[in-house]
Every structure is written in structure tokens, then in C-alpha cells.
A and B are shown apart, each in its own frame.
Chain A
Amino acid sequence: MKIYAIYVVRNNVKPAKSIVDAKDLTSFGFFQRSSIAEFMTFMSQTIAEKTQPGQRQSIEESNYVGHVYARAEGVAGVVITDKEYPPRVAFSLLNKILDEFTTRFPNSANWATPEQCPYPELQQYIVTYQDPKQGDTIMKVQRELDETKIILHKTIESVLERGEKMESLVERSDVLSSQSKIFYKTAKKQNSCCVIC
């Protein structure tokens, strides 16, 4: 039960671009951390781009699950967790973050760099929400979540457009360094998560 990363991604432009993020990668080995960070950014941007405004999706990819919620304003929130983390808490957190973010930075012209959107609370959320019970108050209030169905995808491929392949996206991506690409390929072959073990 772990949150690895939270992203706020601008997805009304193509390609989608991460605005602010917070990560907790302490559970990974020293040499994997940078690659995993890049991979998570890549995953967040990819799935945010494929999510329509108002839509909620959970997408599994190897050992991670990316929960994404896109807003009509043109931003999407992505929370990357492990498979055990309760989706409802993840989506409540996304609601909260996107509400805060859009009230604080309503002007999309300012969404270009993290400096223009200082959002230090994100770092705090990733610490607090490691324990889903912390979001307990949220767990009770979020009745409206039941109304909107959350779409669950078993692989990231199923959110991609026809003809698109994960491998080719990884290959073309400029977010991922060449080392991370090799890490991804090795891990993919073994069906493990960017770790040779």
C-alpha cells in the first residue's frame, strides 16, 4: 500500500505536460530511482493525454496503478500507487488536489513551469496519504464518486489509440533517457518493475 508519485498534468495541449509533481521513491535502489522517476513522469503524461475531461480511469502497468482524473479546465491529476492502494482514496485525493489547484491557478497561461504554480502541499499529501486511513474523512464524504464509474484498464495498451504501441512510445519519448529506456526494456521482458531481480 504505497503512493509513489502525484502529478498535476496539463492535458489540453499535445503532448500533455506535467506541471507539478511529488515523488516518494525511497523504496527503490539508488541506481533505479532516476529511471523510475522518469518512467513515472512518462506514464503520467501518457495516460493524462488519453483521458477525456470529466473521466476517471485506473490503469495498471506492471506493478503500478495510475489513477487519473481529468478536469474540464484542461488539467488532469495522476496518482501512481501500488496495486493494493484503495482506488477510492486515490480518487478522493485527486478531487481535492485538482480543486485546490484550479482555484489557486485558474489562468492556464501560467501552467508552463512549476515555478509559476508553487504547490508545496503536494509533497505533504504524498506523506500523509501513504496511510489511506488518513484520508478517512475523505473516505466517508466521497459519495459522488460512486455515481461516476471509474474505468479500470488492465494494461496501459488499452488506453492507447489504435496502432499505438507502448514500446514505440517509449522509444520516441524525450522524457526518458537512454538508460531508462534500457531499464524499461529489460524490466518489461521479465515483467518486473524497472528492477532486475
Chain B
Amino acid sequence: MAEETRLANTSITEQDPSLTKDVLYERLVHILNANKIDEVAILPFMAEPDMSTCMESDVIQHPYILQQGTKLGIPIFCWVPLLDASYAALKDVKRTETHDNNTEEWWTDPGRRQRVLESTACLMILCPDSFTAINARKRLVQQGYLDPQEECQLLDMVLTFPRNCKSSGVWHHRKWLICHMYKDYETSPLPPSFVKKHLQACHLAAQRYPKCYYAWTMRHWLVEHLGRQWWRASLEGVESVQEDQLSPLEEEYEQMKTHMDRNVSDHSTHQHLQQCLIQLSGRWIMQQLESKGQVSSSGSSANSGTILSWTRSELALRRQRRENWCQTLEARTSGRGHMSRSAILKVLVDESAEYKRASFEWVVRMWVHEMHRVKDMIQSYPGHESLWNHLRFVYYGLCWLDCETDIAEHEVSVPENDQSKAELLFTSPAVESGHVRGLSPHQSASGTDAGNEKQKELQDQYLTWVRRLDIMGHSAFTE
């Protein structure tokens, strides 16, 4: 940081006396007006203007570097004078307001509007957290002088500079724009292509600046929106909306899986993947709640908070219910067959069967697939805590699904010769410790000693967690 501060404070007029802050500001505004910039970067050096081949346009651009007509490089020395000049320009517009004793608001005058647009665009690039600038732009959007779609493009450009990704102002502004454009976003779905575009923006931000909290929060919000609109539409039986919302959600899920492959130790990625899993299971969960009368059929009273509020005490209750249910059924069939204690194993009995999207079977398969996938990754990339944490999440979800009793068509008894399996759940400490034992240290991709030690530690922690979860379930069961 020290070097950068020093560079930023180096006076640019020392290097070239003609470059006063007003000249710098004018040139930047000129470039922004004349070109459609889609990428900005701050350069730690000044490019020497090559006088021999220099065209007039280059002189006007100096000291900025414009390449391919869309990529703009700003030398770091310009930063302070530019900030100064942009703020001055913005203040100037406001000052005219009071001086002329003019009761008209500034945005009614086209000339002042233009000056506000220019100065705030510069400020957005240099310092996207300047709220005066953002508020002025919001005002213009509200008054209809600025197209919100274009404003989103400006935000995309601002984000190409990695440091701007962690500016809360930019992300809040984006969300504000979405809510402004689609005022009824709470009740009616956003256009899928629009959501996809914004998901993509979040994805790019995550690549440029990996642990970007705001980008991931935004992404969660979008995915949750998709999920909510999807189950709402499907419960109301609106077929077209249902498809529109589900496919971007599935695409996002697939994209996250690939992203996870490449960013194994990124907790944010895993969290988002979990969010996708939750939302994809959302319809089934809502159906259940609805059938129990906990939610009205319109779904309006249900907020997203109800989705996957799978608490541990509830999990214990569910286990108990499943156990009781099995016993009742066995009593009814008078000992002719044992009921499987696991709802998941029943679903998995028939591998080839086709299931309706979003049915219980579909949800189960998705989670089981995720379980296999994460175990596979743990094998390939040992010693990553994030993977083990993700495994905990998936295991917990599967425990929940395993205790399902409400699916009537699953009253299939276990075949006679397979009765030992009847007592088994799909998810149990025994299965998990079996898996952990199967992790041979030699088959890993990076078989370093440090990695193996860490892996050992993590697998012990995981097993302890699994056992505690099981004990909790049983203690509640006996009470």
C-alpha cells in the first residue's frame, strides 16, 4: 500500500506541467463520452506519448491510455487530482443552484444534468463509494433522465477494476436499480435473461476478487428470488413461469459445481452451491408445508425463511416419527416383512426409474449425487477444510431426507433375504466412518505429508460431528 500511496501522491504536474487537474478531468470526460469503455485499470506508470507517430487524438488522450477503443488505463498519478476535479465539478452544479436563487431543481436543466452525469461517472470509477455521486445518479434514474439498463452497464465497467468489487456502494446501487426497474419483484418474477445477466456479473466479480462478500450476497439474493418464484409458480400451476425460473436455477447449480472444481478451498463458492441446493429442493419443501396446512396455498404468507429451517430438534423428531411409522406398518403387515428405516435407500432401490422434476425422488437423487461428488473431491484434494464443511452440510440434508414418511407410494417392504439392511439408514455414523477409513492417503493428488496430516485431523473432526448428531437424535428419541 505504501508504494501505491506514494505514487498516488506524486504530483502529476511535476512530470508534465500542462496536466493540471482540470485538463485531466476534461480529457477523461471526453474519453468517457466518446467511447464505450468496458474495462478500466489503474496503471502504476505514465505512458510516454510517442511524439513521432503521435496523432492529434493521442495528444488529447494523454496521459490516459485507450486501447481497442474500449479499454481505458488511468495512470495512478491522476487519481488525486481527478478526484478533486470531479468533486469540484459536482459541487459546482449544486452551487449554481443556490447562487442563482433558482428554485428549480438541478435535474430540470439539461446542461446541469449533463455535468452531473459526467462528474459522477468519473467519481464512480475512481471512488465508487462516494454516496453523493451515487445518489445524484439515482435521482436521475428516478426522474427518468438515465436509463437503468445503461446504468447497469456502467456498473459492470466499474467492477472491472478489482478493488471496486469490494465497494458496497456499487452493489447496493445495482440492487437498487433492479428493484427500481421491477418494482413488483416481490410478487412477480424477474425476466430470466435479466437474472442471468446479473448472475454473470456476480460470477465475473468472484473471479476478479474471490472473497467478495457483496457479490456473493447479491448472488444469493438472485438465486433465492429464482427459487421462490419457481415454487410459487409451480404450486399455482403456472407451467411457463415454472420452466423459466427453474432452468436458470439449474444452470447456476451446474456452473457452481464447475466453479467448485476449480476453487476447492473457497468457502463462498460452497456456500452458494448450498444455497442452490436449498432452492432446488424448495418446491418439495413447500409442497410438504402446504400439505400440512402450515402455509396457505397462495404461498404469500410463506417467506423464504421457512425454506430449509431444518433445526436439529426437528431432525430428532423426524427420526422418531419415521421409526414409529415403520413399526406401525410392520405391525399392520404382522411381521411378514421389515420396513426399511431409510427413505433414501428406498428411492435408490430402483436406479433406472424416471422421476418427475422436483419430486421427492428427484430431490433425493440430487443430494445423493452431491454427496458422492464431494466425497470424490475430498479424495482427490485432501486437506481442504472447506470440502469437509460442505460434506457436513450435505450429510445433514440427507439425514433430513432420510427420515421422510409422507411419501405414500414408498411403503415398500424390504425383501426377505435383505432384512439386515432394514435397520440401516442411508446416513449413519457407520457409513461415514467406513468412507473415512476408505480414504487411502496414497491415492491423493498431492500426497504431501502436511496435506495428509491435515486430512487426518479434518476427518476426525468430521466423524466426531457425525456421531454427535446421531447421539442427539437418539437421546431425543428415548426421552
Q: Which residues of A pack against B, CB within 8 Å?
A: 1-2, 27, 29-32, 84, 86-89, 130-133, 139-140, 146, 178-179, 182-183, 185-186, 189-190, 195-197
> What residues of A have a CB within 8 angstroms of the CB of B7 in the complex?
186
Q: Which residues of B pack against A, CB within 8 Å?
A: 1-4, 7, 39, 41-45, 47, 65, 67-68, 71, 73, 76, 160-163, 207-209, 261-265, 380-381, 443, 445-448
Provided the pairs A87-B446, A132-B445, A197-B162 are in contact, do residues A31 and B2 lie with their beta carbons within 8 angstroms? no
Q: Is there an interface contact between A87 and B263, defined as CB atoms closer than 8 Å? A: no
Closest to B209 in A: A197
> What residues of B have a CB within 8 angstroms of the CB of A32 in the complex?
41
Provided the pairs A30-B71, A179-B45 are in contact, do residues A1 and B380 lie with their beta carbons within 8 angstroms? no
Q: Is there an interface contact between B265 and A89, defined as CB atoms closer than 8 Å? A: no
Q: Is there an interface contact between A190 and B3, defined as CB atoms closer than 8 Å? A: yes
> What residues of B have a CB within 8 angstroms of the CB of A30 in the complex?
39, 41, 67-68, 71
> What residues of A have a CB within 8 angstroms of the CB of B261 in the complex?
1, 131, 133
Q: Is there an interface contact between A84 and B3, defined as CB atoms closer than 8 Å? A: no
Provided the pairs A88-B446, A133-B261, A186-B4 are in contact, do residues A29 and B160 lie with their beta carbons within 8 angstroms? yes
Max chain B C-beta neighbours (<10 A), residue from A84, A89, A146: A84
Give CA–CA (A93, B413) in the complex, Å.
Answer: 52
Provided the pairs A30-B39, A86-B446, A139-B445 are in contact, do residues A186 and B44 lie with their beta carbons within 8 angstroms? yes
Shortest CB-to-CB span from A168 to chain B, Å, is 18
Select which of A1, A86, A195 is within 8 A of B262 by beta carbon.
Answer: A1
Shortest CB-to-CB span from A161 to chain B, Å, is 27
Give CA–CA (A32, B162) in the complex, Å.
Answer: 12
Q: Is there an interface contact between A182 and B381, defined as CB atoms closer than 8 Å? A: no
Q: Is there an interface contact between B4 and A189, defined as CB atoms closer than 8 Å? A: yes
Q: Is there an interface contact between B262 and A196, defined as CB atoms closer than 8 Å? A: no
Shortest CB-to-CB span from B351 to chain A, Å, is 24
> What residues of B have a CB within 8 angstroms of the CB of A196 in the complex?
4, 42, 44, 76, 163
Q: Is there an interface contact between A182 and B380, defined as CB atoms closer than 8 Å? A: no
Select which of A88, A189, A190, A197 is within 8 A of B447 by beta carbon.
Answer: A88
Give CA–CA (A140, B447) in the complex, Å.
Answer: 12
Closest to A30 in B: B71
Can you offer 9 A-B residue contacts whose CB atoms are under 8 A? A29-B162, A29-B208, A31-B43, A86-B380, A88-B447, A130-B262, A140-B443, A196-B163, A197-B209
Closest to B39 in A: A30
Question: 7 additional contacts, CB 8 Å, given A30-B71, A31-B41?
Answer: A86-B381, A88-B446, A133-B261, A140-B443, A182-B44, A185-B44, A196-B163
Closest to A143 in B: B442
> What residues of B have a CB within 8 angstroms of the CB of A190 in the complex?
1, 3-4
Q: Is there an interface contact between B263 and A1, defined as CB atoms closer than 8 Å? A: yes
Shortest CB-to-CB span from B69 to chain A, Å, is 12
> What residues of A have a CB within 8 angstroms of the CB of B447 in the complex?
88, 146
> What residues of A have a CB within 8 angstroms of the CB of B160 in the complex?
29
Give CA–CA (A39, B444) in the complex, Å.
Answer: 31
Give CA–CA (A95, B244) in the complex, Å.
Answer: 48
Give CA–CA (A190, B163) in the complex, Å.
Answer: 13
Give CA–CA (A84, B73) in the complex, Å.
Answer: 31
Closest to A31 in B: B41
Shortest CB-to-CB span from B183 to chain A, Å, is 36
Give CA–CA (A146, B265) in the complex, Å.
Answer: 25
Q: Is there an interface contact between B2 and A189, defined as CB atoms closer than 8 Å? A: yes
Shortest CB-to-CB span from A167 to chain B, Å, is 13
Shortest CB-to-CB span from A37 to chain B, Å, is 15
Q: Is there an interface contact between A131 and B162, defined as CB atoms closer than 8 Å? A: no
> What residues of B have a CB within 8 angstroms of the CB of A87 in the complex?
446, 448
Q: Is there an interface contact between A133 and B380, defined as CB atoms closer than 8 Å? A: yes
Give CA–CA (A95, B446) in the complex, Å.
Answer: 16
Give CA–CA (A12, B448) in the complex, Å.
Answer: 30
Provided the pairs A131-B261, A132-B380, A133-B261 are in contact, do residues A89 and B3 lie with their beta carbons within 8 angstroms? no
Give CA–CA (A32, B445) in the complex, Å.
Answer: 31
> What residues of B have a CB within 8 angstroms of the CB of A146 in the complex?
447
Max chain A C-beta neighbours (<10 A), residue from B45, B163, B207: B45
Provided the pairs A27-B207, A189-B2, A196-B4 are in contact, do residues A183 and B73 lie with their beta carbons within 8 angstroms? no
> What residues of B have a CB within 8 angstroms of the CB of A29 in the complex?
39, 41, 160-162, 208
> What residues of A have a CB within 8 angstroms of the CB of B263 in the complex?
1, 84
A-B complex: 6 closest residue pairs judged by Cβ atoms? A189-B3, A86-B445, A197-B162, A86-B446, A31-B41, A186-B44
Select which of B71, B264, B445 is within 8 A of A31 by beta carbon.
Answer: B71
Closest to B44 in A: A186
Give CA–CA (A178, B447) in the complex, Å.
Answer: 41
Give CA–CA (A185, B380) in the complex, Å.
Answer: 37
